[in-house]
Structure 1
């Protein structure tokens, strides 16, 4: 975890959420913990990190230890689908879940449960894989990847990385090094790590931008879309949506 990546992650939060100083935040699917760490660094009043994966919980605990284990940052292992587990949490000013809920095996229930953690006038920021004509193809690829031995997964990692960051840019008259440099400015993430996460991300569900907005409005008409980053049709990437609870 480099200082540069942390700065980029902090900027990503500021771009979408503005000033979070003094806010209570929950990070559902905290992964490496970089965004929970960034919330702490930006002055959040309270940070709750949640992930079902024990290694991810270890990563968040490691970052928390780097800032002397502050009491205002708490880390839990559990599933967003487990209503008994999430009942221990209250309501938050900011509920953040980026690129996670579509891997739970029950995406819509996961979105509903996550949305239930938003307080009155709170913010819900989520990112969900866009539904495209190639989504079924990628579902098959992901199944193969997860059933493959280690050497098979490494080969698939190499092939996809080469296509995405060298072959495709060259065919599009783009300098591959420029593409890699620009990518790292996006949320502070690593290209190869994201390739592995993409191939290994299973279960795998998708939704169109409209389907997400419609669903949120159906479960609670008080959710108003206030900011978004909508990917182009056919692009296998995350639609980013920020909703405000206008109760």
Structure 2
């Protein structure tokens, strides 16, 4: 199995961990609070005391930390070593004496998955579509949910031809040098500026202005880092809400919460509960 750093050097994968490392330096109590509130809203509770929370593709570790703050016992893992290091640093800074483990692993590694116990909440926001094998990753994630437990995932929306074009942009970004990447980023900004002032988005790309990352977005995120993640995020797969719903329903999951991107660019967010049929 080719490792993450080799895939990045070969232009086959975006350096998600480097982007998360930069974002991790912005994490503060305001962003943690925003992340926690988004979890509370989707999960329908403010208290996870005594519950296990598995974070697949933990990125910066922000949402693992939010779950810890809600009382959960947390296990986090990510395929990218830089993401793991960033999450470990966040744990050391904000939650050093808590029940929170972090390791480097892939959801596509069947041996690793077999060693994992079931979790009350399996969380993977904006991750499974970057594995290179979306439905295999979804199946593995579903298999890690305890009976009666919760699956919380977000998957990029399928926009048909536009999604295919973005796939090519992302592929070229990762196979290009610094100058070509800047051009692709600027071109993408101009395209995305159809519904947003072009000058403001260009400032975001350059790390300037109030929208560049200093002011938290929804979920405590950063517009600048989300933009770079969007343009460079490869591998890249998409699915319609109906496809995700049908896939999970076949595995005895019942939809509890849905937040779509209204047919546009971005992620559709799903919260499922594993129903009684899962026991047999």
Same fold (TM over 0.5): yes
Is there any run of 5+ residues in structure 1 with no aligned partner, and where?
A: none
| Contact 2:153-2:271 at 8 Å conserved across structures | yes
1:125 alignment counterpart: 152
- The 1-side partners of 2:197 and 2:98 are apart by 49
Compute the displacement of 1:144 (Å).
1.0
SS at 1:31's partner residue?
coil
1:144 alignment counterpart: 172
- The 1-side partners of 2:62 and 2:170 are apart by 25
- The 2-side partners of 1:68 and 1:224 are apart by 33
- The 2-side partners of 1:178 and 1:191 are apart by 10
- The 2-side partners of 1:93 and 1:170 are apart by 43
Question: Which of 230, 240, 243 pairs up with 1:211?
Answer: 243
Q: CA RMSD in A?
A: 2.2
Counterparts in 2 of 1:19-168, with a 5 A limit? 19=46, 20-44=48-72, 46-67=73-94, 69-70=96-97, 72-133=99-160, 134-161=162-189, 163-164=191-192, 168=195
Compute the displacement of 1:42 (Å).
1.5
2:234 alignment counterpart: 202
- The 1-side partners of 2:254 and 2:174 are apart by 37
- The 2-side partners of 1:210 and 1:189 are apart by 27
Q: Deviations over 1:156-175 (max 9, x none)?
A: 334434554x663249xxxx
Is 1:232 matched with 2:262? yes
SS at 1:187's partner residue?
helix
- The 1-side partners of 2:113 and 2:185 are apart by 35
Q: Deviations over 1:29-68 (max 9, x none)?
A: 0000100111111211x10001000000001100111145
- The 1-side partners of 2:81 and 2:234 are apart by 17
| Contact 1:51-1:76 at 8 Å conserved across structures | yes
Q: Deviations over 1:211-238 (max 9, x none)?
A: 00101122x12x10011102222x1210
Compute the displacement of 1:186 (Å).
1.2
- The 2-side partners of 1:230 and 1:68 are apart by 32
Q: List structure 1 segments (4+ residues) > 4 angstroms apart after TM superposition.
A: 176-181
